[in-house]
Amino acid sequence: MLAASACETSRLLLNSKSASFPNGLANGSGTVGKYLTDTTGTDVGGFVPKMMDPVPHNHDGVGGMHVYMPWWLDNKKLDFPRGYHIEVWGGTGLPEAGFGGGIQDQQGGGYGKQLKNDYRRYYGAHVGFSGRGEMIPNDGSYCEIDPRVVDKWGIPVLRFHWKFTDHEYLQVKHMQETFRALITEMGGTPWGNMPSKEDGYGIAAGGVIIHELGGARMGADPKTSVVNSNCQTHEVKNLFVADGSPFTSQADKNPTWTIMALSMRTSEYIANQLKTRAL
């Protein structure tokens, strides 16, 4: 049972070469390490004057805003596939240097009583939105064994290649435009300008949202995939992969529930196979 996480599972398989598996264990298809994805993401925050001078009360203990907006649009009317959810943030966390997106930029800085009064007025007068969406797997996003670098035990490490396509860039552009419109509609001002096309509309780099998946993709055809629908490798019947590797693409939800659901299906399959002595 291999469940070392998406990339580490690829590393273990690729490093496990033998006469029977010259390209790495269970890698006859050559797809181990391929079709890596991460959740797409970008964030926009802003200052909303209508929220100034709030009634003071204790917000201690609340982490984040606990609001989640699922995908709500029809892709047929959009220029990108799939969708994203929105996480809302803001509130009155402990003030620190630069809180509120750099409060000094809004009220001009200062010291003493005036600064304290300004802080009270501006405290909590900001909101933000984080978009988290689905990436479409592509040939240009993969990991492979680095031919030169090893870890402290002398085991070769991975090196990564990453490519976003217009699917992801246009989705993130839509996030930016939506979040900026929401803040403006609230009478507020977004922090900073919208990132340009050259800056990928502010898309987080692959790996930054830490939802990496893929590398041992599931499929019916052993020539193009690593595991079958029970997460059993096509080439080694007693080797199973039960982590984020078998599914290369996730909906706009986070990955853990799917990892757990697939693991449960795999466990039940193994138990049944053992009962019938098929394994």
Ligand X SMILES: Cc1cc2nc3c(=O)[nH]c(=O)nc-3n(C[C@H](O)[C@H](O)[C@H](O)COP(=O)(O)OP(=O)(O)OC[C@H]3O[C@@H](n4cnc5c(N)ncnc54)[C@H](O)[C@@H]3O)c2cc1C
Contact residues for ligand X, defined by CB under 6 A: 3-6, 8, 210-211, 243-244, 254-256, 259
Nearer to ligand X, 183 or 226 (CB): 226
* Nearer residue to ligand X within complex by CB, 243 or 252: 243
Distance of closest approach, residue 12 Cβ to ligand X, in angstroms: 6
- Least separation, in Å, of the C-beta of 125 and ligand X? 27
Q: Cβ of residue 260: shortest distance to ligand X, in angstroms?
A: 9
Among residues 33 and 244, whose Cβ is nearest to ligand X? 244
DSSP 85-123: EEEEEES-PPP-TTHHHHHHHHH----HHHHHHHHHHHT
Total residue length of the chain = 279
For the bound state, the minimum distance from the C-beta of residue 241 to ligand X, rounded and expressed in Å, comes to: 9
E strand segments, 188-259? 189-190
Sign of the C-alpha dihedral computed for residues 22, 26, 30 and 35 taken in this order: negative
CB of 152 to ligand X, least distance (A): 14
Report the nearest approach of ligand X to the CB of residue 218 (Å).
14
Structure tokens of 189? 């001002």
**Chain centroid to CA 174:** 17
Q: Which residues contact 59 (CB under 8 A, 6 or more apart)?
A: 91, 92, 93, 124
Residue 91, both tokens = 């509130």
Strand ranges, E, within the chain: 40-47, 68-69, 84-90, 126-133, 142-150, 156-161, 189-190
Residue 248: CB minimum distance to ligand X, A: 13
**Distance (Å, rounded) from C-alpha 9 to C-alpha 31?**
13
In 3D space, the residue among 260, 258, 254, 216 whose CA is nearest the CA of residue 38 turns out to be 254
Nearest to ligand X of 172, 216 (CB atom):
216
- 3-state SS record for 53-74: CCCCCCCCCCCCCCCEECCCCC
Task: Give the nearer residue to ligand X in terms of CB position, either 181 or 205.
Answer: 205
Our CB check for ligand X shows the closer of 38 and 118 to be: 38
CB nearer to ligand X: pick between 165 and 256: 256
